[in-house]
Structure 1
Amino acid sequence: MAPHSISLCFSAPHLCFTHLPPPLPLFSSSVISLPVFRHFRSFRPIRMASSSPSIDSVPSPPDNAIVLGCGGIAVDFLATVDSYPQPDDKIRSTSLKVQGGGNAANALTCAARLGLNSRLISKVANDSQGKGMLEELEADGVDTSFLVVSKEGNSPFTYIIVDKQTKTRTCIHTPGDPPMLPTDLSQSSMLSALDRASIVYFDVRLHETALVIAKEAGRKKIPILVDAEKKRDGLDELLQFADYLVCSAKFPQVWTEASSTPGALISMLLRLPKLKFVIVTLGEEGCLMLERASKAEILQSQETDIESLLETLKHRKDSTATYPTCVSSETTELKADGIGTMSGRLFLGTAEKIPPEELLDTTGAGDAFIGAVLYAICAGMPPEKMLPFAAQVAGCSCRALGARTGLPRRTDTRLVPYLV
C-alpha cells in the first residue's frame, strides 16, 4: 500500500512528460485501572542505553517463516524538487534516484530485511528495467523464482516527484505491458509458491491472479493480509478471504460510507466476518486498529461507544514521546450508532516524530509499515508491540530517498527495543 504516511498520489493532468526517453537501467541499487471502559494497556519500548538490550540479544527471526506476496513491482524514477511545479512550469530536480518500487515488491523487501523468507509473484518484461528489478530483489533476499518474465513489452515504471517543501510525493504510474493474467502462472508454480507459506499478502494490483491464489490459500488455511490503499477492481472479492487488513486513512469511510473512521472499522469487521483485525494508517498521526474478540474474552459487559473510547485513548497516549508508542482499551462490547455492535479491542498507535531535517521522502512508508506487520504476525507479536514496531520501521524508511533505501535490517539499533 504505499498509502499511508503523509502521502499524495494522483495523476496531474497539466504535468507533461512528453518526449521522455525510455527508462534507463540506473539502479543504485502496565495496566492502568480506571472506572468503566477506561481500562488501558500501553506499550513504550525500552530505549537504547548502556543498560538496554544490545544487538546481540535480538532473537532470531521466526523459524522458517515464509511470506508470499502477489502484486505490484516497478522501477521508480524519483526526482526531488524544491517545490511542486505549477502547470506549464519548467523546473530542475535537485537529485535523482532510480530504484525498484511497487507496493508488493517494497513490502516483501522490507520483510526480507527483517528476516522473513519472502517470495513474490508479479510480472516484468525481459528488458533492462525488468532485469534490474529482479537483481535488486534477489540482492535483498527476495525469492523471484515465481515472477513471470514476458519476452516482449515493457516493465512497469513510476515517475515520482518528491517535494522538499511539503515533504510529499506525487506518483505517475505506467503499468507494464502485457498485463499479468491468471494463465501466466501455472498451477504447479502457484502450489510451489504457497508451499509452507506462513502468510499471503496482496496489494490488489493483480486482482485476477490474486483471487486465484487467495482461493487456494483459503483452501490450505493460510492466513491472508490485504492492503486496501483505495478501491480497486477485485478488492471486494479479495476482502472476503482476508484475515488481516491494512488500509489508508480515507479507505474505511469510502468503502463503508460510514460517517467516521471508528464507525467504519466496526462496519468493516461486521461485514467481513473472517477478519481478525483492521488497521488504518494515519500518516504523522499514527494508526488506529480494531481487533475482533470473542464474547468469552469480554472483560466488561457494558456497551462502549467507540467514538468516546477513541477520544479517551487520545487523552491517554504519550504526546511527549518522540518514538512510537501504543495505548489500547480492554476487550469490550463496542458500538457505533446506526452500524451495530461487536466484541473487540481498540488500539491507538503513534508515529515517530521525525525531525524536519531528517524527513526526506515518504515514498513507500506504507509498504514499510506493512512489511513490518507481516513480520510481527509471523513472530506472534501482540498488537501493543506490533504497531510501534511497524511505525518505527516506516519512520526509518522516511529518512532516505526512495521506498527501499532507508528500509532497516533487523539488527538496526532503532529496532532492537521492539524485538527483545
Structure 2
Amino acid sequence: MKHLIMVGACYLDTILSVPHLPEEDAKLRATSLKVRRGGNCGNSLEVLQQYTSGSNLALHLVTVLPSRRSPATEQILSSFAAEGLADVDLGHCIYRDDQTEPASSYIFHNQETGSRTIVNYNGLAEMTVEEFVEVADAFQQVDADVWWHFEGRIPETTIRCIEHLRSHLPQSRVSVEVEKPKREGLRELAAQADVVFYSKTWAESEGYASAEACLTHEIAPRAFLLVNTWGARGACAMAPPSREVIQVEPAVSDAAVQIVDAIGAGDTFVAGTLYDLLCRSGDWDVKKTVRFAVDLATTKIQQYGFGGLGLKIAPPAI
C-alpha cells in the first residue's frame, strides 16, 4: 500500500458568472451563482480518486477547518462523499473550535474571455508545525511508500514540516507547489522538494517569459522533476541532472478549445502528474507523464467542475 498525503487549504468557493468584469463602482448582474468546495489539494484529490479507486494508493487530506459542528465544515466534509470521494481519508483534518466560518474564495468568471478573478479570505489560523508533527507521527510505523504534497502556503512553516519528514520519515517523497507571485520563501521551499510544480503566474512575476526559461534558471538541488505549466502553451518539464527541457503543448488548437471553467486546471495538472509518479510503476517517461497531465487539464477547462474526467481521459493500460 502507498499513501499520498496532500496538505493545503480547503475553501468554499462562491462562483459568479458575469458577462464581463465590472468597472470600479459599477453594478452588474451575474448570470449564475454556484457554491462548491475548492482549494488546490481537495481539487487534486477529486481528480486523482477517479484514477486510483481500487488501487493500492490511499489518499489523505490534511487541512484546517472551522469547528466540527459548524454548517460550513459539515458542507465541506459532506461534499467529499457527495462527489464520489468517500475513499479520501479526512481523519487528519485540523479543526479550529472557536471558528465557524471557512476559508472562502469569491470567484468572478468572465464569460467574455473565460478568465477568472479570485478574491480570497481566510480567517482561520494556519496549521502549526506541532500540528503537522502529530499527523506525520501517525505514518511513522507505516510499512509503505509515503508521499507528501504541499500546496506551498506559509513557506517558513512548510520548510520546517519537510525538515521533520527528512529527519523522522527519511524514505518519504515530497512535492510542492510554487504558485503565488511574490510569496516570500517559495524558492527556499522548492530547494527542499523532490518534485516542484511552478505556475505561470509565479514564473512571470519573476521575469521569465517562458516555462523553459524558468526551469533552466531555477535551482532545486534535491528535485528529480521540475514542471512549469504555461496555460494554452501546455507545460514544460525537466528531470535533473539532465538539463533537457521537454515541452508538451495541448493536442488541440486554441480555436478548438472552448473554455467553460478554468478553475482548478492547475490542480488537475498536478493530479495527472502525481498519478504517474505514484501509480504507473515507472513505465512512463517524462514526456508521457506531462502529456497525460496536459490532456487532463485541457479537458477539465472545457467542462464545469471535475466530474467524469476519468471517463473522458483514460490513461494507457499499465
Could you tell me the TM-score, scaled by structure 1's length? 0.65
Whole-angstrom distance in 2 between the partners of 1:357 and 1:376: 25
- 8 Å Cα contact 2:9-2:41 kept in structure 1: yes
1:400 aligns with 2:299: no
1:150 aligns with 2:91: no
User: Aligned match of 1:212 in 131, 148, 160?
Assistant: 160
Q: Aligned-pair distance for 1:280?
A: 1.0
Whole-angstrom distance in 2 between the partners of 1:365 and 1:67: 20
Partner residue, 2:270: 370
> What pairs with 1:264-275 in structure 2 (closer than 5 Å)?
264-268=214-218, 271-275=219-223
1:389 aligns with 2:292: yes
RMSD: 2.4
1:347 aligns with 2:246: yes
Three-state SS of the structure 2 residue aligned to 1:143 is coil
Whole-angstrom distance in 2 between the partners of 1:364 and 1:387: 17
Write the letter of the residue equivalent to 2:197: V
User: Aligned match of 2:32 in 80, 91, 95?
Assistant: 95
Instruction: Work out the number of aligned pairs and report it.
Output: 299
Q: Aligned-pair distance for 1:262?
A: 2.9
Partner residue, 1:236: 187
> What pairs with 1:7-406 in structure 2 (closer than 5 Å)?
64-115=1-52, 116-126=57-67, 127-138=70-81, 139-140=84-85, 141-153=87-99, 154-185=101-132, 187-193=133-139, 195=142, 196-219=144-167, 220-230=170-180, 231-252=182-203, 254-255=205-206, 261-268=211-218, 271-293=219-241, 343-353=242-252, 358-378=258-278, 379=280, 380=282, 381-401=284-304, 404-406=305-307
Q: Which has the higher contact order (CA 8 A, sep 6+)?
A: 1
Deviations 1:272-307 (A, max 9, x none): 2211121111111111112213xxxxxxxxxxxxxx
Larger Rg: 1
Deviations 1:240-272 (A, max 9, x none): 2111111112434645x667653432222xx32
Three-state SS of the structure 2 residue aligned to 1:387 is helix
Q: Structure 1 vs Structure 2: percent identity of aligned residues?
A: 22
- 8 Å Cα contact 1:279-1:288 kept in structure 2: yes
- 8 Å Cα contact 1:393-1:407 kept in structure 2: no
Whole-angstrom distance in 2 between the partners of 1:259 and 1:250: 11
Whole-angstrom distance in 1 between the partners of 2:119 and 2:290: 30
Write the letter of the residue equivalent to 1:376: D
Deviations 1:4-46 (A, max 9, x none): xxxxxxxxxxxxxxxxxxxxxxxxxxxxxxxxxxxxxxxxxxx
Three-state SS of the structure 1 residue aligned to 2:117 is strand
Write the letter of the residue equivalent to 2:221: P
Q: Aligned-pair distance for 1:180?
A: 2.6
Whole-angstrom distance in 2 between the partners of 1:198 and 1:388: 25
Write the letter of the residue equivalent to 1:344: R
Three-state SS of the structure 2 residue aligned to 1:183 is helix
Q: 1:193 to 1:363 in 2, by over 3 A?
A: farther
Q: Aligned-pair distance for 1:189?
A: 2.6
Write the letter of the residue equivalent to 2:277: I
Q: Aligned-pair distance for 1:391?
A: 1.1
Write the letter of the residue equivalent to 1:145: G
Write the letter of the residue equivalent to 1:221: Q
Whole-angstrom distance in 1 between the partners of 2:24 and 2:214: 37
Q: 1:259 to 1:168 in 2, by over 3 A?
A: closer
Deviations 1:152-175 (A, max 9, x none): 222101001111110111110001
Q: 1:137 to 1:214 in 2, by over 3 A?
A: farther
Q: 1:163 to 1:344 in 2, by over 3 A?
A: same
Q: 1:391 to 1:87 in 2, by over 3 A?
A: same
Write the letter of the residue equivalent to 2:128: L
Deviations 1:44-92 (A, max 9, x none): xxxxxxxxxxxxxxxxxxxx33211111210111111111111122112
Partner residue, 1:51: none
Whole-angstrom distance in 1 between the partners of 2:6 and 2:91: 12
